Structure 1
Amino acid sequence: MEAAQKKTQQLIDDNAVMVFSKSYCPYCNNTKRILDGLNAKYKAVELNEEDDGDDIQNALHKMTGQRTVPNIFINRVHIGGNSDLEAVVKNGKNGKKIEELLKEAGAL
């Protein structure tokens, strides 16, 4: 479990936008469509295709309290899931529009 926690944190630290996903999940696919539509650079890890995917999902749950995917981070800040990302696109976060957050993260 400790190895999965380290790997998870490293992925979050190394990527401006990090999406923990499952390839068959419609909400995950919508998140990736939104990010693609914004021309955002992001890394997606499909947990169902990783040998340690369950361990990573458990580490994410421990870190964020969120058990579901997608589990999204922008600039190392936990955004949440797909509906949370949709809310940020619509309303911004902490007074910043999604484009500002992505630019600050170096993802645009």
Structure 2
Amino acid sequence: MGIFSSKEVDMASPTASLVKDLISSDVVVIFSKSYCPYCKLAKDVFEKLKQNYTAIELDQRNDGEEIQTILGEITGAKTVPRVFVKGECLGGGSDVKAMYDNGKLVQYFE
């Protein structure tokens, strides 16, 4: 199954339910890959804010590709990181860094 596959996504599957549960499991949830520089950028932003987060490292999970496909369906983008704050997808690493730089990210935690 390639990255550009047109496989139907089963949003009622156990994995889709897991993804939804993970998104709501913490204030900040980052779907990440351990080697990805943009994922590290996103994590660094929350460390600077001294804000705890849950990181789900997709490259270290057997269901990582399926999770990434489901995230694509939920968010409209399959790239990592996918950063959720209070259940809302804020985008990826560059998006979160821009929100941090312009002061908008801190508003989520006030």
TM-score range normalised by the length of the shorter chain? 0.7 to 0.9
Runs of 4+ in 1 over 3 A off after TM superposition: none
The TM-score normalised by the length of structure 2 is 0.84
Q: Which residue of 2 aligns with 1:100?
A: 107
How far, CA to CA, are the matches of 1:14 and 1:45 in structure 2? 11
SS at match of 2:94: helix
How far, CA to CA, are the matches of 1:47 and 1:90 in structure 2? 27
Q: Unaligned stretches of 5+ in structure 2? A: 1-9
Tell whether 2:75 aligns with 1:40.
Answer: no
Q: Which residue of 1 aligns with 2:94?
A: 83
Tell whether 2:76 aligns with 1:65.
Answer: yes
Select the structure that is richer in helix.
1
Q: Unaligned stretches of 5+ in structure 1? A: 104-108
Deviations 1:7-52 (A, max 9, x none): 1100111110000000000110111111111111110000000111
Choose 1 or 2 for highest CA Rg.
2
Q: Which residue of 1 aligns with 2:7?
A: none
Q: Which residue of 2 aligns with 1:17?
A: 28
**Contact map agreement 2:15 2:67 (CA 8 A) in 1:** yes
Shift of 1:88: 1.1
**Contact map agreement 1:19 1:72 (CA 8 A) in 2:** yes
Shift of 1:98: 1.8
**Contact map agreement 1:74 1:102 (CA 8 A) in 2:** no
Q: Match for 1:100: what amino acid?
A: Q
Q: Match for 2:105: what amino acid?
A: I
Q: Match for 1:31: what amino acid?
A: A
